[in-house]
Protein backbone atom coordinates (compact mmCIF):
# COMPACT_ATOMS: atom_id res chain seq x y z
CA UNK A 1 0.00 0.00 0.00
CA UNK A 2 1.22 3.48 -0.81
CA UNK A 3 2.22 5.57 2.22
CA UNK A 4 1.35 9.21 2.57
CA UNK A 5 4.51 11.29 2.87
CA UNK A 6 3.12 13.39 5.70
CA UNK A 7 1.15 10.80 7.62
CA UNK A 8 2.85 7.44 7.23
CA UNK A 9 2.05 4.20 9.01
CA UNK A 10 0.76 4.60 12.55
CA UNK A 11 2.36 2.29 15.18
CA UNK A 12 -0.20 0.81 17.57
CA UNK A 13 2.06 -1.03 19.97
CA UNK A 14 2.55 -4.79 20.34
CA UNK A 15 4.05 -4.84 16.85
CA UNK A 16 0.83 -3.67 15.18
CA UNK A 17 0.55 -0.87 12.65
CA UNK A 18 -2.34 0.58 10.68
CA UNK A 19 -1.42 1.84 7.24
CA UNK A 20 -2.78 4.78 5.26
CA UNK A 21 -4.55 3.76 2.07
CA UNK A 22 -5.88 5.68 -0.90
CA UNK A 23 -9.50 5.77 -1.98
CA UNK A 24 -8.58 3.74 -5.05
CA UNK A 25 -6.98 1.07 -2.91
CA UNK A 26 -10.06 1.02 -0.68
CA UNK A 27 -12.32 0.67 -3.72
CA UNK A 28 -10.17 -2.08 -5.24
CA UNK A 29 -10.41 -4.03 -1.98
CA UNK A 30 -14.16 -3.29 -1.67
CA UNK A 31 -13.69 -1.79 1.78
CA UNK A 32 -16.61 -0.16 3.56
CA UNK A 33 -15.76 3.45 4.35
CA UNK A 34 -16.47 4.50 7.94
CA UNK A 35 -16.25 8.27 8.35
CA UNK A 36 -15.00 9.19 11.83
CA UNK A 37 -14.68 12.93 11.29
CA UNK A 38 -16.67 15.35 13.48
CA UNK A 39 -20.36 15.33 12.60
CA UNK A 40 -20.20 18.92 11.37
CA UNK A 41 -17.59 17.86 8.81
CA UNK A 42 -19.64 14.84 7.74
CA UNK A 43 -22.77 16.97 7.36
CA UNK A 44 -20.80 19.47 5.29
CA UNK A 45 -19.86 16.84 2.73
CA UNK A 46 -19.06 13.13 2.67
CA UNK A 47 -18.25 10.41 0.18
CA UNK A 48 -21.40 8.65 -1.09
CA UNK A 49 -21.88 5.30 0.60
CA UNK A 50 -19.71 6.09 3.62
CA UNK A 51 -21.13 5.44 7.09
CA UNK A 52 -20.74 7.99 9.86
CA UNK A 53 -19.68 6.91 13.33
CA UNK A 54 -18.58 9.31 16.03
CA UNK A 55 -15.30 8.26 17.66
CA UNK A 56 -16.75 8.89 21.12
CA UNK A 57 -19.46 6.26 20.47
CA UNK A 58 -17.20 3.86 18.60
CA UNK A 59 -17.29 0.71 20.73
CA UNK A 60 -20.97 1.26 21.59
CA UNK A 61 -22.29 1.33 18.03
CA UNK A 62 -19.73 -0.22 15.67
CA UNK A 63 -20.98 -3.75 16.31
CA UNK A 64 -24.61 -2.73 15.82
CA UNK A 65 -24.21 -1.05 12.44
CA UNK A 66 -21.72 -3.44 10.79
CA UNK A 67 -20.85 -7.12 10.85
CA UNK A 68 -17.48 -7.88 12.52
CA UNK A 69 -16.21 -9.55 9.34
CA UNK A 70 -16.73 -6.38 7.29
CA UNK A 71 -13.43 -5.08 5.86
CA UNK A 72 -13.16 -1.38 6.73
CA UNK A 73 -11.19 1.74 5.93
CA UNK A 74 -11.47 4.73 8.24
CA UNK A 75 -11.94 8.25 6.94
CA UNK A 76 -10.41 10.55 9.52
CA UNK A 77 -9.37 14.13 9.95
CA UNK A 78 -5.56 14.45 10.23
CA UNK A 79 -6.07 15.96 13.69
CA UNK A 80 -7.53 12.61 14.84
CA UNK A 81 -4.39 10.55 14.23
CA UNK A 82 -3.62 10.42 17.94
CA UNK A 83 -6.86 8.46 18.52
CA UNK A 84 -6.19 5.71 15.97
CA UNK A 85 -4.66 3.34 18.51
CA UNK A 86 -7.64 3.78 20.82
CA UNK A 87 -10.10 3.11 17.97
CA UNK A 88 -8.14 0.11 16.72
CA UNK A 89 -7.99 -1.47 20.18
CA UNK A 90 -11.69 -0.86 20.84
CA UNK A 91 -12.50 -2.51 17.51
CA UNK A 92 -10.42 -5.60 18.27
CA UNK A 93 -12.05 -5.99 21.68
CA UNK A 94 -15.47 -6.38 20.05
CA UNK A 95 -14.26 -8.70 17.31
CA UNK A 96 -13.47 -6.31 14.45
CA UNK A 97 -10.18 -7.53 12.98
CA UNK A 98 -10.66 -6.19 9.44
CA UNK A 99 -9.67 -2.53 9.66
CA UNK A 100 -7.43 -2.42 6.60
CA UNK A 101 -6.27 1.17 6.85
CA UNK A 102 -7.16 4.83 7.24
CA UNK A 103 -7.62 7.61 4.69
CA UNK A 104 -6.60 11.01 6.08
CA UNK A 105 -7.08 12.86 2.77
CA UNK A 106 -10.21 11.10 1.52
CA UNK A 107 -12.30 14.20 0.89
CA UNK A 108 -9.47 15.94 -0.97
CA UNK A 109 -8.87 12.82 -3.07
CA UNK A 110 -12.55 12.51 -3.90
CA UNK A 111 -12.96 16.13 -4.96
CA UNK A 112 -9.67 16.18 -6.86
CA UNK A 113 -10.93 13.26 -8.94
CA UNK A 114 -13.91 15.40 -9.98
CA UNK A 115 -16.50 13.55 -7.88
CA UNK A 116 -19.21 15.28 -5.88
CA UNK A 117 -19.73 14.95 -2.17
CA UNK A 118 -23.08 14.05 -0.65
CA UNK A 119 -24.66 16.10 2.11
CA UNK A 120 -27.24 15.25 4.70
CA UNK A 121 -30.55 17.06 4.66
CA UNK A 122 -31.37 18.62 8.01
CA UNK A 123 -34.33 20.42 9.51
CA UNK A 124 -34.53 22.58 12.62
CA UNK A 125 -36.68 21.50 15.54
CA UNK A 126 -38.90 24.54 15.08
CA UNK A 127 -39.41 23.96 11.36
CA UNK A 128 -40.23 20.30 11.93
CA UNK A 129 -42.78 21.10 14.63
CA UNK A 130 -44.44 23.80 12.52
CA UNK A 131 -44.41 22.35 9.02
CA UNK A 132 -43.21 18.77 8.55
CA UNK A 133 -43.57 17.23 5.09
CA UNK A 134 -47.00 15.64 4.66
CA UNK A 135 -45.84 12.33 3.21
CA UNK A 136 -43.24 11.53 5.84
CA UNK A 137 -42.33 9.28 8.76
CA UNK A 138 -40.67 10.19 12.05
CA UNK A 139 -38.11 7.57 13.05
CA UNK A 140 -37.05 7.67 16.70
CA UNK A 141 -33.63 6.03 17.19
CA UNK A 142 -33.52 6.25 20.97
CA UNK A 143 -33.91 3.38 23.41
CA UNK A 144 -37.15 2.82 25.28
CA UNK A 145 -35.85 4.16 28.59
CA UNK A 146 -35.24 7.53 26.89
CA UNK A 147 -38.89 8.04 25.92
CA UNK A 148 -40.99 10.70 27.60
CA UNK A 149 -44.75 11.21 27.81
CA UNK A 150 -44.41 14.50 25.95
CA UNK A 151 -42.56 13.07 22.94
CA UNK A 152 -44.11 13.44 19.46
CA UNK A 153 -46.85 10.86 18.75
CA UNK A 154 -47.02 8.39 15.87
CA UNK A 155 -43.29 7.72 15.78
CA UNK A 156 -41.66 4.67 14.27
CA UNK A 157 -39.59 3.31 17.15
CA UNK A 158 -36.40 1.57 16.04
CA UNK A 159 -33.32 2.04 18.25
CA UNK A 160 -30.11 2.53 16.28
CA UNK A 161 -28.88 -0.78 17.69
CA UNK A 162 -31.70 -2.56 15.81
CA UNK A 163 -31.74 -0.54 12.60
CA UNK A 164 -29.45 -2.80 10.55
CA UNK A 165 -31.77 -5.77 11.15
CA UNK A 166 -34.98 -3.79 10.61
CA UNK A 167 -34.22 -1.82 7.45
CA UNK A 168 -37.13 -3.53 5.70
CA UNK A 169 -39.51 -1.62 8.00
CA UNK A 170 -38.33 1.75 6.68
CA UNK A 171 -40.48 3.05 3.79
CA UNK A 172 -38.54 4.03 0.69
CA UNK A 173 -41.37 6.09 -0.78
CA UNK A 174 -41.53 8.64 2.05
CA UNK A 175 -39.24 11.20 3.61
CA UNK A 176 -37.90 9.82 6.89
CA UNK A 177 -37.20 12.33 9.65
CA UNK A 178 -34.57 11.08 12.08
CA UNK A 179 -34.68 11.79 15.80
CA UNK A 180 -32.35 10.93 18.68
CA UNK A 181 -31.16 12.70 21.82
CA UNK A 182 -28.57 15.07 20.36
CA UNK A 183 -27.95 14.16 16.71
CA UNK A 184 -25.08 11.64 16.59
CA UNK A 185 -27.26 8.54 16.26
CA UNK A 186 -29.51 10.29 13.75
CA UNK A 187 -26.54 11.12 11.52
CA UNK A 188 -25.26 7.54 11.71
CA UNK A 189 -28.73 6.29 10.79
CA UNK A 190 -28.99 8.80 7.94
CA UNK A 191 -25.73 7.53 6.46
CA UNK A 192 -26.98 3.93 6.70
CA UNK A 193 -30.32 4.81 5.11
CA UNK A 194 -28.65 6.80 2.33
CA UNK A 195 -26.82 3.60 1.37
CA UNK A 196 -30.21 1.86 1.26
CA UNK A 197 -31.75 4.50 -1.00
CA UNK A 198 -33.98 6.13 1.63
CA UNK A 199 -34.56 9.91 1.66
CA UNK A 200 -33.85 11.32 5.12
CA UNK A 201 -33.76 14.55 7.07
CA UNK A 202 -32.01 14.84 10.44
CA UNK A 203 -33.78 16.91 13.10
CA UNK A 204 -31.07 19.17 14.46
CA UNK A 205 -31.05 19.52 18.22
CA UNK A 206 -32.67 16.13 18.68
CA UNK A 207 -35.42 15.51 21.19
CA UNK A 208 -34.07 18.28 23.42
CA UNK A 209 -34.74 20.78 20.65
CA UNK A 210 -38.26 19.47 20.06
CA UNK A 211 -39.10 19.67 23.74
CA UNK A 212 -37.78 23.22 23.91
CA UNK A 213 -39.93 24.27 20.96
CA UNK A 214 -42.92 22.59 22.58
CA UNK A 215 -42.52 24.79 25.65
CA UNK A 216 -42.64 28.02 23.66
**Residues 51, 141 within the same domain:** no
**How does DSSP classify residue 118?**
B
Asked whether residue 30 is assigned to any structural domain, the reply reads yes
- 5 within a domain of the structure (yes/no): no
User: Whole-angstrom Cα distance, residue 175 to residue 183?
Assistant: 18
For residue 139, the SS3 value is strand
Same domain assignment for residues 108 and 171: no
Tell me if 203 is assigned to some domain.
yes
| Residue 76 and residue 126 in one domain | no
CATH of the domain at 153: 3.40.250.10
Pair 150, 75 in one domain: no
Q: Which domain holds residue 183?
A: 122-215
Q: In terms of domains, do 129 and 95 share one?
A: no
Give the pLDDT confidence score for residue 4 in this predicted structure.
32
pLDDT in tens, the chain (216 residues): 333 333 444 455 544 567 899 999 999 999 999 999 999 999 999 999 999 999 998 999 999 999 999 999 999 998 898 999 899 999 999 999 999 999 988 999 999 999 999 999 999 999 998 888 889 999 999 999 999 877 888 899 999 999 999 999 999 999 999 999 988 999 999 999 999 999 999 999 899 888 887 654
Helix ranges (H only) for 82-203 are: 84-93, 106-112, 125-130, 160-163, 184-195
Is 105 found in the same domain as 174?
Answer: no
In a domain, 2, yes or no: no
Does residue 18 share a domain with residue 61? Answer: yes
Give the residue from 79, 112, 145 where a domain finishes.
Answer: 112
Q: At what angle do helices 184-195 and 58-65 cross, to 10 degrees?
A: 20
Predicted local distance difference test score (pLDDT) of residue 69:
95
In this structure, the answer to whether residues 156 and 81 fall within a common structural domain is: no
Number of structural domains the chain divides into: 2
The domain boundary, picked from 93, 112, 131, lies at 112
Specify whether 199 is located in the same domain as 152: yes
Q: What is the DSSP string of 43-90?
A: HH-B-TT-EE--GGGHHHHHHHHS-TT--EEEE--GGGGGGHHHHHHH
Eight-class DSSP state of 191: H
Final residue before a domain boundary, out of 55, 84, 112: 112
Residue 1 belongs to some domain of the structure: no
Amino acid sequence: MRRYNVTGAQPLGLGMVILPVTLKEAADQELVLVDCRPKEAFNGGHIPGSIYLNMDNWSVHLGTILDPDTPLALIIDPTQLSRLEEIFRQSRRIGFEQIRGFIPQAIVEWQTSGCRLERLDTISSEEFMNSPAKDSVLLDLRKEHEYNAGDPPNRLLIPLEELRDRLAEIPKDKLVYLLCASGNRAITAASMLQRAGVATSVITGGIKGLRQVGKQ
